[in-house]
Amino acid sequence: SQKIEQNSEALNIQEGKTATLTCNYTNYSPAYLQWYRQDPGRGPVFLLLIRENEKEKRKERLKVTFDTTLKQSLFHITASQPADSATYLCALDTNAGKSTFGDGTTLTVKP
């Protein structure tokens, strides 16, 4: 069956360091992958989308990589800030429409 795994229940890092979050998947051939941020009591907010033929995408302090051979995406936040503390979700998509989400990784950035 299809499975999406995001690394560790929680990730704690010091302000200024780089946070790296992992999304691994099995039995799936996504056309593209998205990363979202979710704060408590709020809906997910879109951050970045990367297509299967792209290796890397950047947006300000954010970087996403997508390795379809390893079936893995890495999400990096450089120069992390306490305001980056949130749950980060990866979502895999075919071109059919619906997204399949992982359970998220909760990031805490300590000052």
Partner 1 sequence: DTGVSQDPRHKITKRGQNVTFRCDPISEHNRLYWYRQTLGQGPEFLTYFQNEAQLEKSRLLSDRFSAERPKGSFSTLEIQRTEQGDSAMYLCASSSAVGGKGNQPQHFGDGTRLSIL
Contacts of 70 (CB under 8 A, 6+ apart): none
Q: Interaction with partner 1 in 45-64: which residues (CB under 8 A)?
A: 45-46, 49, 51
* Selected binder of partner 1 within 44, 50, 64, 73 (CB under 8 A): 44
Stated as kind and residue range, the H or E segment containing 51 is: strand 45-51
- Which residue, chain included where needed, has tokens 């970087």? 63
How many amino acids of this chain bind partner 1 (CB under 8 A)?
Answer: 27
* Residue closest to 23 by CA, chosen among 40, 43, 8, 42: 8
Which residues inside 88-107 make contact with partner 1, applying CB under 8 A? Answer: 89, 91, 93-104
State the amino acid at position 63 in one-letter form.
K
Does 68 interact with partner 1 (rule: CB under 8 A)?
Answer: no
Contact residues for partner 1 (CB under 8 A)? Answer: 4, 31-32, 34, 36, 41-46, 49, 51, 89, 91, 93-104
